[in-house]
Amino acid sequence: MSIRTKKKRKEVQMTENWKPNARQLKAATELARTSPVPLDRLPYTPDFDAIHHDLAEAVGPMSAAQVWSCLLGARKRGWVGSRSRTSKPRTRKE
């Protein structure tokens, strides 16, 4: 008789001074670009759970808060989000 054991997912807690590194940001950017849901509507959806799972597989165990922080960091840098919302250069009126 064999006994099956389930692997426990390593629980990660976010500390106050945690910041995403370049590898995590790059992976989060790639996953966010493939998501059909806009970033603002992503939390608490199955799509966010999928991104969380895929990101944890790619870069190691991460909490949901850390995944969200990576996604927001990528958006802040302009790597994720609507292209139409980017500001246009100002032209001077003469």
pLDDT digits (tens, 9 = 90+) for 64-90: 999 999 999 999 998 887 654 445 555
pTM confidence score? 0.69
Question: To which residue do tokens 């692997």 refer?
Answer: 7
Q: In this predicted structure, what is the pLDDT of residue 84?
A: 45
Residue 32 vs residues 10, 26, 51, 57: alpha-carbon distances, Å: 23, 10, 7, 15
The pLDDT of residue 61: 92
- Res 11 pLDDT > 80: no
Average pLDDT, the chain: 80
d(CA 76, CA 34): 18
